[in-house]
Structure 1
Amino acid sequence: MRILLVEDNLSLAEGLAALLRQTGYAVDVVHDGASAEALALAESFDLVILDLNLPQMDGLDVLRAMRARRNGAAVMILTARGAPEERVRGLDLGADDYLIKPFDIGEFEARVRSLLRRQAGLKTSTIAFGDLDFDLTARSFSTGGAPLDLPARERGLLELLMMRAGKVVPREAIVQSLTSLEDDLSANAIEQYVSRLRKRLGPLGLTVKTARGIGYFLDRAAP
């Protein structure tokens, strides 16, 4: 899942970005409103975490521009501006959540998970497909109650496929979801991750199938 973090407090931005990346998200960070608007409209993000008091362009103007362009990314406003009229204005402009600084890190993480579940159209925190279970809260996989440990990129790919189980996920969507602007993920690299996942999922009766020229989807292996 890919997140855009817009925060002009450099130390806070660095800390939140490190926290989100440690959890396995691909994170891009900008520190001013103009850059946020340009990047949000040029790239695809699952979630935008948006401060309001920004240089060059106010966060509410960034949000207004996003929604005017029908940008459907989930938006969490993260700000010290906590007056009721500010919250109402932000939500009316299209924000999905509004968290006031200072905030509890645990609550922040829970709100991020909730927004990403909602963005994926999920109402539950656990997904099952065949003998594979995915806990969205812990972002962990298990089979028969035993954990299935995966390297970060393979876990991110399987998460993406699991949340859209049975549906084709285009290669472009995989690249967008798993990488920030600082990363580079080639078609060959994706194929390598897919190949490794097939080996891991084979004993569970699952596989990753290729939709030629389009992308990949999670399916049950042939008997």
Structure 2
Amino acid sequence: MKILSFEAISNKKDPLTPFLRSRLAVVDETHDVDEALDLVKFYEYDVILLRLSEQRMGELDLVRNLRQTRVRAPLVAITRNMTEAARLRVLQTGADDLIVDALSHEEIFMKVQNLVRRSHGFQDNALRIGAVEINMNAKKIYANGKPVTLTKKEYQIVEILALRKGAVLSKEVILDHLYGGLDEPNPKIIDVFICKIRKKLQSLGVDDFIETNWGRGYMVIDHQPDARREKARHPLPAPQPLRAIA
């Protein structure tokens, strides 16, 4: 999960960003409105977090500008001690959700993650694609009901591809989601990660989860709908009535 976090006033002691990163999220931080608008032009985020306060409601212009750029990522405002009138202003401006007075960083993370999952078309608590299930809360993956032992980077790759099911992601895009532009290795490392993931899934009977789009990158496709359509086109013959034995 890739997050853009905006707060007008820098707070280096704020533990929310380190907590999000501990939950395998890649977080880009900015305290500048123009930089935030530039970042969404060049990078695809799963969610944009806006740290707002009732004393700085002028920052709502960023919400309006983000909506004008037609950014697809959900906009989530996080605030404390905000009156109902101010909360309504935030929502009317275009925020998708508003988290007020959250008791813990875990609560914020869970609410954000659930919104991200639904925004990508997954209504259940887990991402289910074919025989693979990705539990985003536990950060675990199952193939045919059996746990798959993955490294943190391998898990992140599977989650990224699953959230963007049906879309081809280049190696450069995957690298950005893994490292956030910091100390990125050679893009060929993604080929190595994908090879290891495939071998682990194949050992559990799944060999069609990640597909290669030559020259472009990798993608995940749910083959189950195809199987259901094929079954509908070629239904099993109706059972014959039993004949009485003379």
Which TM-score bucket, shorter chain as reference?
0.7 to 0.9
- Equivalent residues of 1:32, 1:57 under 8 A apart: no
Question: What SS class does the counterpart of residue 82 from structure 2 fall into?
Answer: coil
Query: What does residue range 64-213 of structure 1 map to in structure 2 within 5 Å?
Result: 64-80=64-80, 82-101=82-101, 103-165=103-165, 167-171=166-170, 172-203=172-203, 204-207=205-208, 208-213=210-215
TM-superposed CA distance for 1:16, in Å, is: 1.2
Question: Whose strand proportion is higher, 1 or 2?
Answer: 1
Between stretches 37-46 and 133-142, larger displacement belongs to: 37-46
Question: What SS class does the counterpart of residue 19 from structure 2 fall into?
Answer: helix
- Equivalent residues of 2:50, 2:76 under 8 A apart: yes
TM-superposed CA distance for 1:38, in Å, is: 3.3
How many residues end up aligned between the 2 structures? Answer: 216
Q: Aligned-residue CA RMSD in angstroms?
A: 2.6
Which structure carries more relative contact order (alpha carbon 8 Å, separation 6+)?
1
- Equivalent residues of 2:26, 2:178 under 8 A apart: yes
Highest CA radius of gyration, 1 or 2? 2
Question: What SS class does the counterpart of residue 90 from structure 1 fall into?
Answer: helix
- What percentage of residue pairs aligned between the two structures are identical? 28
Aligned to 2:220: 218
Q: Which residues of structure 1 form unaligned runs of 5+?
A: none
The two structures have a TM-score, normalised by structure 1, of 0.84
Question: What SS class does the counterpart of residue 13 from structure 2 fall into?
Answer: helix
Could you say if the C-alpha distance between residues 84 and 41 of structure 1 is closer, same or farther in structure 2, counting changes exceeding 3 Å? farther
Could you say if the C-alpha distance between residues 59 and 151 of structure 1 is closer, same or farther in structure 2, counting changes exceeding 3 Å? farther
The 4+ residue runs of structure 1 with deviation greater than 4 A are none
Q: Which residues of structure 2 form unaligned runs of 5+?
A: 224-246
